[in-house]
Structure 1
């Protein structure tokens, strides 16, 4: 294991907030774009906690909306680094909604984002390896190389390259 490797718990970041009318559409559910912004923000924090540097978003993939977040519910975003390469980090994010009156909690979104650490000149910078600590973290870590290859293939077959 790499000498400066860090456990997943170092990067784990959680944000909880209420969903207000200004964040909802005419269905009374949270705008997907608002939620995507919050996902990017919490994932940036997780990535920066892991590497101790500024980061840039390289990709967002597997953004799966499973159920809506309704006005008046609490929304909780949890993110942590699952895997690293030389300068990049894969960050997993899970979003849960909670009806604060009934206590019902449900997963609403899961996704993976990739970030690249950058130095003071904006050039890619090396990042430490990650040490998974739980069974879920180990499964995500073990399956990350396959997701990396899928992202790489997607970039190679992009219409705009």
Structure 2
């Protein structure tokens, strides 16, 4: 099996937030940021695998603070974990305000990407060479994220068919809902 350094796929992408990206509240649409994240995850995963890559899952995106028109958004990405055909790309988003030089961490997230060949079949990706404590920690976090994601998919596939209505009603009793 081939192995590659984490640094081989590290990607930094910067884009100016323009007025057409703004929502009705004057802030940049979260969907614009998600689109940029998807693009950067693709770039990073393709650099690692040397293949066409597709998004399998968005493992988590938390918006810590709004992005404003005029900000320079910088996305830093790396392949943090690899499975057989998938990679978890970790990304950190920072906003730079040119007028005052202030940099803010606006969000972090993880995308699971899969490598495919020209026929659309999944292909094996190179392993990762972990060169320092940060890369080792991120790999272990990625392994944990993958496990949680697989468990979540299993729950969603089950469609709660093995739980009776009575059990579901009891489970929702203390929640903010009314059951008719």
Superposition TM-score tier, normalisation by shorter sequence: over 0.9
Say if 1:82 and 1:132, in contact at 8 Å, map to a contact too. no
Q: What is the TM-score of this pair, normalised by structure 1? A: 0.93
Structure with the greater alpha carbon radius of gyration: 2
Residue matched to 1:14: 12
Please show how residues 15-34 of structure 1 align to structure 2 within 5 Å: 15-34=13-32
Residue matched to 1:48: 46
Residue matched to 2:120: 122
State the alpha-carbon separation in 1 of the partners of residues 108 and 71 from structure 2.
Answer: 18
- With over 3 angstroms needed to count, the CA separation of the structure-2 counterparts of 1:128 and 1:70, relative to structure 1, is same
Offset from partner CA, 1:5-45 (integer Å, 9 cap, x none): 11111111111111111001122211000110000000000
SS of residue paired to 1:157: helix
Distance apart, 1:103 and its partner CA: 0.8
> Please, which runs of 5 or more residues in structure 1 have no aligned partner?
none
State the alpha-carbon separation in 2 of the partners of residues 135 and 99 from structure 1.
Answer: 31
Please show how residues 96-115 of structure 1 align to structure 2 within 5 Å: 96-115=94-113
Distance apart, 1:138 and its partner CA: 2.2
Say if 2:59 and 2:145, in contact at 8 Å, map to a contact too. no
SS of residue paired to 2:77: strand
Offset from partner CA, 1:47-82 (integer Å, 9 cap, x none): 000010111111001111111111111100111100
Count of residue pairs the alignment pairs up: 159
Matched, 1:39 2:37: yes
State the alpha-carbon separation in 2 of the partners of residues 32 and 68 from structure 1.
Answer: 9
Residue matched to 1:148: 146
> Please, which runs of 5 or more residues in structure 2 have no aligned partner?
160-180
